[in-house]
Each structure stands twice: as structure tokens, then as C-alpha cells.
Structure 1
Amino acid sequence: MYTVLVVDDSPDSLSLINDILEKEGISTLVALEGQQAITIAEQIRPDIILLDAIMPKLDGFETCIRLKQNRQLQHIPVVFMTGLTDTESTLKGLNAGGVDYIVKPVNPDELIARIKIHAGNAQMTSSAQHALDSVGQKLFAVNEAAELLWATPQTHDFLSAIPYADKWFSKQLTPTVSAIIALPAQQDKPQRICYDGGECEVTLVAKRANGDYTFRINSVTEDISGEQRLRSELGLTSRESEVLYWLSNGKTNKEIAQILDIGARTVNKHLEQIFVKLGVENRTTAAGIAIRILAK
């Protein structure tokens, strides 16, 4: 079941919501003000945060903004609890990074339903991101306004290495992404962007039904073959790198032998040496290492 962080400066409200959640078997954490909520979230990482909009010191809107600025917390869905039903306050909460809002006094059935929906969606998204992270590719997602939603660690590392990264992101990357989104005819074509000391290529990978877009970003390097990259990064011989390259492309030993015009036994001998050099025990793991390198 989920862990919910409830943030409200009213002890009575905290007590009421805690009782509702406990009846559903949902674990509850509580905070009386914004900074305390941020500290708790950093330490425990709840599945969802219920956040009062109006609080002394740090209000709910600013608390949400700071939560979303933290790379480790930005994936946690924030649902505002507010007595403010005017459009301006609602938009302010959504613009701060909230995914939804509940009007006080809360309806227990509505509260539980929204927790399950948003926490469940967040968990599925998180699982998908972990899967993408493990692949080792530089991927990121934006909404229709080209605002960053998430990025793999490899993307963060790549962007942080670019000189004046923040300025380049807003002046170069974001407009390029916006242009790709706005022009469907261009969406299947990689777009190149220069930065101080290099050049990168941005490619649209997928568009989701909810309007989010997933992109891949890669630095543009000299035209180096896959075999050369494997040989350089893994310390393999020329023939070993060729065998590993075709292995990573799903070829069997017999097919590799035919492609390289060598005997099947020779392929086996090269694979034995590759396993030793990579410190692995099977072809699947060796192929995985090669795929990660070739995907950079």
C-alpha cells in the first residue's frame, strides 16, 4: 500500500485525514509546515503528498515549487488541499507542479480515489523510468509546452557537462524541442544543436496519448564504427570487437562465423576471451555491455 505525506498547519485537519487514511490501511506521515514537509520527503520519499495551499511561513505553492526543483523528489505527485475554489488559485497550484486539487472539507471517498489514481500512475511512471535508466540512454520527456518532465541520469550528466548549461537549455534546447513538437513533418528527423565545444543531436522517440513527448539526445562525434568503439572502450582486439559487435546485434555464433568468414570454433574462442576481459560469464551479459556502449 502507499505512503502519504499530509501537510497542513491545522492539527484538526491532519487528525481527520490521518483517520481516513488509516481506515484504508494507508501509511501516513504528517507535517505542519512546508520546510518540515520537504525535510521529511527527502528522508522517506512518500508515494504522494497532500499539501495544504495556505500555510504560514512557506505556503503550499512555494513548497511544491521547491519539491519539484529537487531531482530526487520531482516525481512525487502533489495534490493540493484547499478551500480556494477560484480559477486563479487552482491554476497557481497546477503551475507550481501539482497534479490535482481537493476542496476542503475533504470527501473521504474522493480523497482515497485520487490518492490511488495519482500514486498508482506515479509508480508506473517511476518503473518505466527505472527501466529506461538501466538501458543507459540519454532520454528526457517534455509536455506540450516543452517543459521538462523527467530525464534519465545519463541526460542530467550530459547536460551538466555543457558550458553554461542552464542558459543553453533555455536558449537552444527548449526552442528546438518546441519546434519539433510544432512541426509534425519534422518529427522523424534528428535536429542538431551546437554548444560551446561540441554539437548534439535531438531526436523524437515517442509521443504519448496524454501529450507528453520523449526525446533522445546524443553528442555528435566523428563517424566511428561500432567495432572501433567497442575496441577502444573495452580493450578488445580487432577481431574480438567484431565478434562482440555482431553478438550485440543478436547474431548466433554460426551467423557471426559466416559474416566474418571464420570458423565457428574460432568464434567460440574469441567469445571466451571476451568474457574474461569483460568479467562476465555469458553472452547475454556481454551483449548488454556492448549495447550500452553503442547506445551512448
Structure 2
Amino acid sequence: MLESILIVDDIPENLSLLHESLDQAGYQVLVATNGFSAIEIAHRSQPDMILLDGSMPEMDGFESCIQLKASPVTAHIPVIFMTGLTETEYIVKGFQVGGVDYVTKPLNIDEVQARVKTHLLQARLMHQQKQMLDATGSAILSLNLKGEIIWQTPIVKELLQRYQVNIEQFQSVLRQWLQDLIQHPNHSSFMYGQYGQEQIQLNLLTKIDNNYSQRNVLIQLKEQSQMPSIEDIMQACSNLTPREAEVMHWVTMGKTNRDIAEILSLSPRTVNKHLEHVFEKLYVETRTAAVLHVMSACQNLTTA
């Protein structure tokens, strides 16, 4: 099935040039000459990508993108801005309203095609990833960098309903947690969070790179009752000592080194040394990777 691309531009010459080149590249090409018709066509035809002119009369590309991203029907469609406005403020604005990339005018067709190909591939991979996560039964959701939920696996809704979670409050907690993560991307104490008197564990699955190339992050929700016990960890990761398993138990519960030190009556430095040994034994480099390794090992143990 041909992938479809919607081109939105009020300049006929630009439309003609893009239409011909993308058509020859094997894409199905749709055309709109203003923001209003672009929104209507996007809802009706569901293109795989939108090339959107930033400067148009009546409704410019930035406002059009805001409208597209506000609709659940079109929010998932990647938008690449085409603009002659090369000042940083306009480029930043394009990302802020939901664009995934931009190309400057006059257009370089080879560059446009390369960026289209890259973002279509990313969109396909994300769609496949979502399908795989849906099939696993894991409670995983995707947030954009504003902390808004982009999509979620079916079990997320079930989990939140089970704990009678207020969705608005939950989203507010997610937004604040994500802002803390963005401001402190390398601070381990922000990698995990809790919600609802620590009934639900929030685990960050995506490393925060704090730049415009990253448009969303994955978060896993876990019931605290599902978190592995010390005995589970010792059985699943038999090369860990009892103390290392104990430390990892509290790490999976989202505790900081200082918290763990107080719980186990150790010094933070000793806790850090135990974690270094854990990293070596599990062949990982970060707390997040260690948690994912332990959780996966324990899950495999219960399903074996």
C-alpha cells in the first residue's frame, strides 16, 4: 500500500515541484492550499505525513498544526514544516506546536525526500512498537515533552480504573514528574515516581536526551504489589548477593541511594558500591537498565 503525503502550501509552484518529486518517489500525494482545507483533508484521508507551509494567509501553518495535534484523529500524523522563516524563534515554534522537523525555502528536493523517508520510517517503527506493547499486556504510555499522553496500552486504562484514579490529577502528576526529569536528566532520584499513596510505580523507559530530536518518552506503570520481592530477585538473579538483591529491591521501588541507606542502616557510599557490583554482574550501566533487567528476569521466572 502506498504511503500518502499531504502537501500544504499556498504557492502553486511549490505544490507542483513537491507533487512531481514525491509522486516519482512512489508516494500518493494529496494537496491543500490553506490550513482549513488541510485540516479537512487530513481528517478525511488520514495521510501518513504532512508537509506544512509555515506562512499562509488566514490560518498559518503553526495554527494549523495546533489544530491537527489537538484532534485525536490527526494527532499521530508527523508534520514537517516548510518555511522561509529561518530565525530561531520560528524554528522553535514549529517544534513547540508539534512538528517533528523543518526544511527551509527555497526547497532542496533531495533534502525534503530524505527527511520524509526518515520520519515515515520513525512513524512506522513507533506504530509497530505500539502494537507490540499492546500485545504484551504491559501498562505503558507515551508522553510528549509537555507531559501530555499520546497513546497508552489498553491495560493502562484498566489499571487506573482499578485504583479509581482521577485522570486530571494523574496527568498533572505526570507533567510535573516529566518536567523534573527534563530539568534533571541525569539525576537518578527522578527516574522513578509514585502515584496514589505509592500504589502505582512510575518507571521511565526512555532516556531523556533534552533536545528537539526526541518528541516523546515511554513510561511504564506498575502496581506496587507487583514489584519483585528480595527473594524473587535472588532467585531470578542468582549471581547477586542477598545484600545486593535487597538494594535492588528498594531501587525497583523507586528509592534513592540516600533512602536505601536509611532503610538498610548503611552509608550512601556503601549503597553506591553495592550498585556498582550489581551493574557489573548484570552487565548494565545505569539504574534504569538494572531495574528493567531485574523486572524482566523476575517476570520470566513467574511465567516459566
Q: Same fold (TM over 0.5)?
A: yes
- Between stretches 67-76 and 21-30, larger displacement belongs to 67-76
Alpha-carbon deviation of 1:105?
Answer: 2.0
Alpha-carbon deviation of 1:185?
Answer: 2.9
The correspondence of residues 1-296 of structure 1 with structure 2, limited to 5 A, is 1-142=2-143, 145=145, 147-148=147-148, 150-154=150-154, 157=157, 165-170=167-172, 172-179=173-180, 182=184, 184-186=187-189, 191-194=193-196, 199-207=199-207, 213-218=217-222
1:166-206 deviations in whole A, cap 9, x for unaligned?
35412x22223444663643367x532128xx953312334
C-alpha change, 1:90 and 1:178, in structure 2 (3 Å) is closer
Aligned counterparts of 2:146 and 2:135: Cα–Cα separation in 1: 25
Amino acid of the residue matched to residue 154 of structure 2? Q
Amino acid of the residue matched to residue 166 of structure 1? E
1:85·1:103 contact (CA, 8 Å) conserved in 2? yes
Amino acid of the residue matched to residue 154 of structure 1? P
- Between stretches 208-217 and 133-142, larger displacement belongs to 208-217
1:83·1:105 contact (CA, 8 Å) conserved in 2? yes
1:48·1:76 contact (CA, 8 Å) conserved in 2? yes
Normalised by the length of structure 2, the TM-score is: 0.62
Amino acid of the residue matched to residue 186 of structure 1? S
1:8·1:33 contact (CA, 8 Å) conserved in 2? yes
* 3-state SS of 1:207 partner: coil
Normalised by the length of structure 1, the TM-score is: 0.63
2:256 aligned partner: none
C-alpha change, 1:85 and 1:118, in structure 2 (3 Å) is same
* 3-state SS of 2:114 partner: helix
1:1-56 deviations in whole A, cap 9, x for unaligned?
43111011223321221112122222100112222212222222212110011112
Alignment size in residue pairs:
221
Structure 2 runs not aligned, ≥5 long: 228-298
Alpha-carbon deviation of 1:158?
Answer: 5.5
* 3-state SS of 1:109 partner: helix
C-alpha change, 1:167 and 1:115, in structure 2 (3 Å) is same
- When Rg is computed on C-alpha atoms for both structures, the one with the higher figure is 1
C-alpha change, 1:135 and 1:44, in structure 2 (3 Å) is farther
C-alpha change, 1:149 and 1:168, in structure 2 (3 Å) is closer
1:50-72 deviations in whole A, cap 9, x for unaligned?
00111122211011112222234
2:156·2:221 contact (CA, 8 Å) conserved in 1? no
Query: RMSD between aligned alpha carbons?
Result: 3.3
Aligned counterparts of 1:139 and 1:169: Cα–Cα separation in 2: 14
2:252 aligned partner: none
C-alpha change, 1:164 and 1:33, in structure 2 (3 Å) is farther
1:50·1:78 contact (CA, 8 Å) conserved in 2? yes
Aligned counterparts of 2:129 and 2:33: Cα–Cα separation in 1: 33
- Between stretches 210-219 and 45-54, larger displacement belongs to 210-219
1:118-140 deviations in whole A, cap 9, x for unaligned?
11111111111111122233212
2:143·2:151 contact (CA, 8 Å) conserved in 1? no
Alpha-carbon deviation of 1:101?
Answer: 1.1
- Between stretches 148-157 and 69-78, larger displacement belongs to 148-157
- Between stretches 148-157 and 110-119, larger displacement belongs to 148-157
C-alpha change, 1:85 and 1:156, in structure 2 (3 Å) is farther
C-alpha change, 1:50 and 1:163, in structure 2 (3 Å) is same
